[in-house]
Structure formats: structure tokens, C-alpha cells
Amino acid sequence: MIKTLNERVSRVSGRMMSIFLHDIFGEHDFADIRMGLPAGAAHLRDRKLIVAATVCDPPMFQDAMKQAAISTGCDVLVSHHGFYPETLNHAHFSVASQIAGQLCHFDRMLLYVRRADGYWLVPEKEGPFIALDEEGLSIGQNSPFITFDQRAEGLCEGAKLIARRTRNVGIL
């Protein structure tokens, strides 16, 4: 049974989080966590991952993300989506993770979705690529695409998923 999101979470944030909590990381129980993160932040202990969503733009919650990553040893993923994601507002994602003992923070990541490649967060310009799957996050330098057309197609699919999910009345 899926635990439902806290009533303090906006409908848009709840729908944005459902992409991660239900579609990507599987339908597993999660626990609420605060630590200065957005209301309704979800701690997926078995994946060492914290997922949250907010209408606030980056760098809002950056310090809280870093502190939560240090305190829990988890990766922290925050969706910054505005009130009308991918319709009037671009959705960006921030990640805080410890890599080889060093705390790393990545901002302005974009959702990339392709059937052949899965779900990814890709940098807006330069930086690492983050694979999203049932196990959690995998950060690396290899991109899920080869050509610019593949990148554009995956980013468009990600934007369509976000727009559909956040506008669909029947979801969370």
C-alpha cells in the first residue's frame, strides 16, 4: 500500500513527487522527514534517498539539502517546479549527494525520459548525468544519449510527463 502525501503538500508538489515515488522508485512506503526541507519530503530509507518538491526556485533549500545529505547519509532530490510546471514554469531539479566522501550539489538538472534509456536528470549545460531507477540515484559522466536530437527528444518527453502528471485530476 502506498503511503499518501501529507496534506501540507500542494497538489502540484504532490503530483510532481508522484513521478518519483510511484513511477520511478516503485510503490514502496516512505516516511516523512523535515530537516528544513520542503513540506512533505519523503525519506525512502531502503534506497538511501530523500525526495521533495517545491514551487520555490533554486537555490531555495540548498543548505537544508546539504545538511540532510550529511546527517542521513542519503541522496537528496528536490524538484523546483513553480505553479504550472512545463506549461508556464520550467521544472528544475537539485541533487545533494556524497561522492567519494565529498558533498556534491547539482542544480538546474532537467528530467530526461526515453523508453530505451529510462529516467535521468541531465545538466542544463554541463555536469554529471544522474540515472533514476528503483535502486535510487546513480551519478556518472556518461550521458544516456548520443545525439542532440536524442537529448531533445528525451527532454521533451520529460516535460510532457511533468505537464500531464501535474494537470491530471486523477493523480494524488
Q: Report pLDDT for 172.
A: 45
Could you tell me the pLDDT band of residue 29, with boundaries at 50, 70 and 90? confident
Whether residue 59 is preceded by a cis peptide bond, meaning omega within 30 degrees of 0, is yes
User: Distance (Å, rounded) from C-alpha 75 to C-alpha 49?
Assistant: 5
Could you tell me the pLDDT band of residue 2, with boundaries at 50, 70 and 90? very low
User: Distance (Å, rounded) from C-alpha 74 to C-alpha 56?
Assistant: 22
Share of the chain above pLDDT 70, in %: 92
User: Distance (Å, rounded) from C-alpha 59 to C-alpha 80?
Assistant: 9
pTM comes to 0.91
Could you tell me the pLDDT band of residue 171, with boundaries at 50, 70 and 90? very low
The CA–CA distances, whole Å, from 29 to 2, 34, 71, 126, 159 equal: 6, 17, 21, 34, 26
Q: Report pLDDT for 168.
A: 66
Share of the chain above pLDDT 90, in %: 76
pLDDT in tens, 108-144: 999 999 988 899 999 999 999 999 998 999 999 999 9
Helices of type H across 43-147: 62-72
Residue 16 has pLDDT above 90, yes or no: yes
pLDDT in tens, 80-96: 999 999 888 899 999 99
Residue 62 has pLDDT above 80, yes or no: yes
Domain ranges of the chain: 11-167
The CA–CA distances, whole Å, from 68 to 51, 61, 110, 132, 166 equal: 11, 10, 22, 20, 27
Query: What is the average pLDDT score of the chain?
Result: 90
Helices of type H across 37-147: 62-72
Q: How far does CA 69 lie from the centroid of its chain?
A: 15
